[in-house]
């Protein structure tokens, strides 16, 4: 007899998804396999967004279809890349997710989409397919050392050379945004660009600032000198992970009650307020002893401040003492809010500049971008496409390799943005990253643990914490439901060799085998796994959005986030003038370079995918689809709560609105 199988082939709906090349298909079943059939592609078969059906005739029954072999043969010399989304065999009965570019001459063997852990593959043909897939991926995605002493990264330097497995969407569009927008920005700012002078007045900075502004950046410009606002930024600015409760005044920062009691509640004291939990500390110790950059032949200055803050009776957080260097010394005065206005302002500017540098290098680059790359690499190298956790995680890794390669090529390279505009440019940035690597602990990456460790559970109006904890909880509940389905018992975790390889890769390459990091090197329980996966998804989406999205708002007004300091920290009180301040903050060209980068990187991309959206249908079973739907409902609820909370506030905290955040580190 003749058996007929109907296969539907769906092409992606992005630009250039279509192909004119020839595609051959072979169905491989439990009983037998079909002949290789050329799919008729002289007509408009593989057009953008289309689905076409084909009949495959076989002499015998194939059994359950296990694999579909796809071969593309170049018709032209160069070949014509094709984005194949998925194949369905006999209606919806078996479904083969592809969601990748098929380039050049290639032969892919796609697995049927039901998620399978490695020990669930009983047939040799499937085991072999799985092993082959991982062998290929491990050869395509190799680890390399970007700098000694910090996490490893992908061994590819040109974003266009990324293998088709990972260029989920059109790579060049990202590149285009990168280069195109820089050019545009530069053009607008051309008149300022080559000026290596200091700014001559705040009015001059304002003229430049006015070229590009948002409601929030205007608000920041209005408020930047105010102590309340300085405190607010530690809670709801771009770097909300630094502030800690202060239970004891550090010995290298000898603030006395005499110095600060005037700023505290009447009849209270520093000791009493510490006991009440109203005193907080921010310590930039990581920046101590970092060699400073040289910009236009001039040495720059990095300070490593300590800043004490007080939560007053109106629940406002205010700085009450600032020391700009780590060692207590008469030449290193402790600045106070009632010092000469310019002294106090300059002290705060030094803190903000230190904060900006540490923020970009550690909070943003190391702890979101580079860490997300480690997770991405481990996923690509260790988990096969049919693995349930590959299906869960890969959407949270979209564009991450691309953007990080570009960051290494244009921001933290020799002659890149850091060298041009930031005080930690040159060798300093690598030293900062190395030190920060040691502080990157598992507990500091898990928001609930981190909030406790920093003692900031009760501080009011800490929206980063409030929104973050809610989001952590719904991500965790999504992950748990999924694990309950795929890992009913702890033994399922123990037996999953790919999963164990995955966490081991992260431990070795991402955390350099440092046990002190608290990162596990294996998993033994479902609970452990669920917490870790929550952290991974949270880092790639929520945390990145929290630290990335406010950059323009908070740093467009340069004095609020000076990328470098041109003069050393003051050693005396009572002498600072406005002129000193203008000469200390970044010069014109550093300001322009830094702002251009911030502006361009804070534009949302045209193919934005929001948290919890999984436009690629990788899970084929019904249960995970329901869990995804529930996750989306939970996220929507949080989004509404945030909108509601923000109503009537002068500047609402929007950086953690799930509807506005990407599913991955994509920019
Ligand atoms: C941005 O990512 O939006 C802006 C980055 C930026 C702007 C001005 C000075 C320094 C930086 C930086 C950085 C390091 C992290 C960047 C990773 C983003 C591709």
Question: DSSP string spanning 237-274?
Answer: SS-TT--EE-SS--TTS---HHHHGGGSSTT--HHHHH
Report which ligand 1 atom has the smallest distance to the Cα of 595. Answer: 8
Dihedral sign, CA of 363, 365, 367, 372? positive
Q: Which atom of ligand 1 is nearest to the CA of 600?
A: 3
From the CA of 32, how far away is ligand 1's center (Å)?
54
Q: Cα 47 to the chain's mean position, in Å?
A: 34
* CB of 531 closer than 6 angstroms to any ligand 1 atom: no
Which atom of ligand 1 is the closest one to the Cα of 548? 3
Q: Whose CA is nearest to atom 8 of ligand 1?
A: 594
The pLDDT, as a whole number, for residue 249 is: 98
Q: Is 417 in the pocket of ligand 1 (CB under 6 A)?
A: yes
Tokens for 584? 């200390």
Ligand 1 atom at shortest distance from the alpha carbon of 593: 8
Ligand 1 in reach of 597 Cβ (< 6 A): yes
Classify residue 627 by its DSSP letter: H
Does residue 364's CB lie within 6 angstroms of at least one atom of ligand 1?
A: yes
How far is residue 316's CA from residue 350's CA, in Å, rounded to a whole number? 22
Token pair in block for residue 501: 């390889």
> What tokens were used for 587?
């010069």
The answer to whether the CB of 469 falls within 8 A of the CB of 451 is yes
Q: Quick one: DSSP state of residue 541?
A: I
Mutate to test the pocket of ligand 1, among 189, 358, 364 (most ligand atoms within 8 A of CB): 364
pLDDT band at 14 (very low <50, low <70, confident <90, very high): confident
182 ligand 1 Cβ < 6 A? no
Closest ligand 1 atom to residue 365 Cα is 15
114: Cβ contacts below 8 Å, ≥ 6 apart: 386, 620, 621
Q: What is the pLDDT of residues 72-99, one digit of tens each?
A: 888 776 668 889 999 999 866 799 999 9
448, HSE (Cβ side, Cα atoms, 13 Å): 12
The percent of residues in the chain predicted with pLDDT above 70, rounded, is 93
The CA distance from 58 to 189, in Å, is 66
Q: What is the helix, strand, coil percentage profile of the chain, to 5?
A: 45, 15, 40
pLDDT of residue 88: 94
Residue nearest to atom 12 of ligand 1 (CA): 360
Structure tokens at 230: 């300085």
Q: Ligand 1 centroid to 410 CA: how many Å?
A: 10
| Residue 24: closest CA among 33, 35, 37 | 37
- Nearest CA-CA partner of 371 in 549, 570, 152: 152
411 Cα: distance to centroid of ligand 1 (angstroms): 7
Residue 149's pLDDT band (cuts 50, 70, 90): very high
**pLDDT value for 194:** 72
Strands annotated E in 12-64:
22-29, 37-39, 51-58
pLDDT of residue 118: 98
**Pocket perturbation via mutation, ligand 1, pick of 402, 593, 597 by most ligand atoms within 8 A of CB:** 597
Burial class (CB in 10 A: 0-12, 13-18, 19+), 409: middle
Inter-residue contact 496 to 657 (CB < 8 Å): no
Q: How far apart are CA 631 and CA 611, in angstroms?
A: 10
Q: Provide mean pLDDT across the span 626-633.
A: 98
Spatial separation of the C-alpha atoms in residues 445 and 430, rounded to whole Å: 21
Pocket test for ligand 1, best of 354, 402, 411 (most atoms within 8 A of CB): 411
Tokens (6 digits) for 183: 């050019």
Angle at CA of residue 253, ends 150 and 311, nearest 5°: 95
Q: Give the distance, in angstroms, between the CA of residue 385 and the centroid of all CA atoms in the same chain.
A: 23
| 170 pLDDT higher than 90 | no
Ligand 1 in reach of 664 Cβ (< 6 A): no
Nearest CA owner, ligand 1 atom 13: 360
CA of 468 to the centre of ligand 1 (A): 22
Range name among 234-248, 407-421, 467-481, 601-615 with the lowest pLDDT average: 601-615
Please give the pLDDT value at position 184.
Answer: 57
Q: What is the pLDDT of residue 191?
A: 66
For residue 473, what pLDDT is reported?
Answer: 98
Q: Is the CB of 407 under 6 A from ligand 1?
A: yes
pLDDT, average across residues 603-624: 89
Euclidean distance between CA atoms 452 and 245, whole angstroms: 10
User: If you measure from the C-alpha of residue 134 to the centroid of ligand 1, how many angstroms do you get, rounded to a whole number?
Assistant: 33
The C-alpha atoms of residue 329 and residue 189 are separated, in whole angstroms, by: 43
Tell me what pLDDT residue 446 has. Answer: 98
Task: Give, using CA atoms, the residue closest to atom 11 of ligand 1.
Answer: 360
Tens of pLDDT, residue by residue over 553-585, are: 999 999 999 999 999 999 999 999 999 999 999
How remote is the CA of residue 136 from the centroid of ligand 1, in Å?
33
Nearest to 173 by CA among 661, 602, 608, 552: 608
Determine the Cα–Cα distance for residues 407 and 418; give it in Å rounded to an integer. 11
Measured distance CA(265)–CA(632) in Å, rounded: 45
Mean pLDDT throughout 346-364? 98
597 Cα: distance to centroid of ligand 1 (angstroms): 6
Average pLDDT, the chain: 93
Instruction: Give helix 341-358 / helix 227-236 axis angle, nearest 10°.
Output: 10
* Structure confidence at residue 172 (pLDDT): 47
Determine the Cα–Cα distance for residues 362 and 435; give it in Å rounded to an integer.
10
Q: How far is the CA of 408 from the centre of ligand 1 (A)?
A: 11
Residues contacting 615, CB < 8 A, separation 6+: 609
């Amino acid at each position: 007899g003749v058996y007929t199988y109907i296969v539907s082939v769906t092409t992606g709906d992005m630009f250039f998804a279509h192909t004119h090349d020839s595609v051959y298909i072979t169905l491989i079943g439990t009983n037998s396999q079909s002949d290789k059939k050329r799919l008729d592609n002289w007509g408009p078969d593989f057009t953008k967004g289309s689905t076409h059906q084909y009949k495959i005739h076989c002499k015998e029954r194939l059994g359950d279809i296990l694999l579909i072999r796809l071969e593309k043969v170049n018709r032209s010399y160069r070949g014509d890349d094709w984005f194949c989304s998925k194949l369905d065999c006999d209606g919806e009965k078996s479904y083969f997710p592809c969601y990748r570019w098929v380039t050049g001459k290639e032969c892919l063997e796609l697995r049927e989409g039901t998620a399978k852990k490695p020990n669930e593959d009983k047939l040799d043909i499937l085991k072999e397919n799985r092993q082959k897939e991982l062998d290929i991926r491990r050869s395509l995605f190799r680890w390399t050392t970007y700098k000694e002493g910090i996490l490893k990264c992908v061994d590819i330097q040109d974003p266009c050379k990324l293998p088709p497995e990972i260029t989920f969407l059109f790579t060049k569009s990202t590149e285009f945004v990168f280069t195109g927008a820089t050019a545009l920005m530069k053009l607008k700012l051309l008149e300022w660009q080559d000026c290596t002078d200091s700014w001559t007045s705040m009015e001059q900075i304002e003229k430049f600032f006015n070229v590009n502004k948002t409601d929030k950046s205007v608000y920041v410009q209005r408020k930047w000198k105010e102590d309340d606002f300085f405190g607010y930024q530690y809670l709801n600015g771009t770097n909300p992970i630094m502030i800690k409760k202060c239970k004891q005044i550090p010995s290298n920062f000898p603030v006395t009650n005499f110095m600060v009691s005037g700023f505290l509640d009447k009849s209270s004291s520093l000791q009493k307020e510490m006991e009440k939990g109203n005193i907080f500390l921010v310590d930039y110790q990581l920046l101590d002893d970092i060699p400073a950059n040289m910009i236009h032949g001039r040495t720059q200055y990095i300070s490593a401040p300590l800043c004490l803050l007080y939560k007053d009776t109106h629940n406002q957080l205010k700085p009450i003492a600032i020391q700009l260097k780590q060692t207590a010394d008469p030449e290193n005065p402790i600045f106070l809010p009632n010092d000469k206005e310019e002294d106090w302002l300059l002290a705060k500017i030094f803190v903000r500049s230190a904060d900006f540098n540490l923020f970009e290098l550690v909070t943003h680059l190391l702890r979101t971008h580079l860490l997300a790359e480690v997770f991405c690499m481990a996923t690509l190298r260790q988990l096969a496409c049919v693995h349930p956790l590959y299906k869960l995680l890969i959407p949270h890794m979209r564009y991450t390799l691309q953007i990080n390669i570009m960051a290494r090529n244009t921001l933290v390279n020799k002659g890149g943005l850091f060298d041009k505009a930031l005080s930690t440019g040159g060798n300093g940035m690598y030293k900062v990253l190395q030190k920060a690597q040691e502080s990157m602990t598992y507990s500091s990456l898990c928001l609930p643990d981190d909030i406790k460790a920093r003692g900031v559970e009760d501080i009011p109006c800490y929206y980063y914490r409030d929104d973050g904890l809610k989001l952590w909880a719904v991500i965790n509940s999504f992950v748990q439901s999924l694990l309950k389905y795929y890992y009913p018992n702890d033994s399922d975790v123990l037996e999953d060799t790919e999963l164990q390889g995955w966490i081991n890769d992260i431990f070795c390459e991402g955390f350099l085998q440092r046990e002190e990091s608290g990162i596990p090197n294996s998993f033994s329980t479902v609970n452990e796994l669920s917490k870790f996966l929550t952290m991974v998804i949270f880092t790639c989406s929520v945390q990145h959005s929290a630290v990335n999205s406010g950059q323009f708002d908070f740093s467009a007004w340069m004095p609020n986030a000076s990328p470098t300091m041109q003069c050393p920290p003051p050693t005396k009180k009572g002498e600072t003038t406005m002129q000193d301040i203008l000469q200390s903050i970044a010069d014109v060209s550093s300001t322009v370079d830094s702002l251009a980068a911030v502006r361009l990187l804070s534009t949302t991309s045209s193919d934005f995918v929001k948290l919890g959206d999984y436009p690629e249908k990788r899970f084929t079973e019904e249960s995970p689809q329901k869990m995804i739907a529930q996750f989306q409902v939970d996220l929507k609820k949080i989004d509404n709560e945030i909108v509601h909370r923000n109503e009537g506030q002068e500047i609402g905290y929007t950086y953690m609105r799930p509807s506005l955040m990407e599913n991955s580190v994509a920019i």
